[in-house]
Amino acid sequence: MLPLEVLINRLNNEEKELEKTTSKILEKQKFYDTSKKREFKEIEVPTVYGLEKVPVFMKYRIEVEAQGYVLDANEKIAPLNHHTFDLYVLRNYPFPLERKLGAPIRIVWITPIFHPNIAPGKDYGGTGVICWRALVKWTTTLSLLNVVEGVKLLIENPDVDDPIHNPPICMRAAEYFRLNPPPKIVRKRGRNDEK
């Protein structure tokens, strides 16, 4: 576990990195208090395995632009390009946990979406859970920017072979995209990313 000041500095730097992109941090909520020597707050967060109580250090509400889909009022598939989710950073970030979901982050979807791996937010009849391999196979080299860019890729490239089973809309999305795959979106790597 990183010392508190080191973690605070790391997240401040990662926030600055994220601010250089089209993604936006809409809200930020701290669950630590250095004056009271409190380093986190235990919060229940929905996951694909059910509710999980985790030590939350910081919560970000993030807005991203990515080509996604939603069911409109007539039950037709319609494009949706603006998405919002809560990103919970756990106290042991960036180190993995000894749990099924090893990532030291949790993601809860807020907005509507028609996707096999992302349940719509609770205000749209879903649970807000997300099924993404990075939550299970975490590496310490990932940053907030990597997580947000990874979520954008997941939005644009649904994995029909690993859908969420509840709520049923995710299974419906898997069936739909199996028959009507969206165009694959590959993001160009920047000059600094080339190997």
Q: CA-CA distances (angstroms) from residue 154 to 24, 158, 187?
A: 18, 6, 12
Nearest to 131 by CA among 99, 154, 102, 97: 154
pLDDT (0 to 100) of residue 188: 54
Round to whole Å and give the CA distance between 12 and 60.
12
pLDDT (0 to 100) of residue 36: 87
* CA–centroid distance for 57 within its chain: 16
- The reported pTM is 0.91
**Residue 181 corresponds to which tokens in the numbers above?**
């795959």
Q: Which helix (H) or strand (E) holds 67?
A: strand 50-71
pLDDT (0 to 100) of residue 35: 87
HSE of 70, CA atoms in CB hemisphere, 13 A: 16
Under-70 pLDDT residues of the chain: 185-195
Is the separation of the CB atoms in 104 and 95 below 8 Å?
A: yes
pLDDT (0 to 100) of residue 34: 86
Give burial (CB, 10 Å; 0-12/13-18/19+) of 35: exposed
Q: Which residues make Cβ contacts (< 8 Å) with residue 86, sequence separation at least 6?
A: 59, 60, 61, 62, 107, 108, 110, 128
Domains and CATH numbers, the chain: 4-184 (3.10.110.10)
Round to whole Å and give the CA distance between 109 and 181.
22
pLDDT digits (tens, 9 = 90+) for 115-167: 999 999 999 999 999 999 999 999 999 999 999 999 999 999 999 999 999 89
pLDDT (0 to 100) of residue 195: 36
3-state secondary structure of 106: strand
Within 10 Å of residue 31's Cβ, how many Cβ atoms? 19
Round to whole Å and give the CA distance between 105 and 110.
16
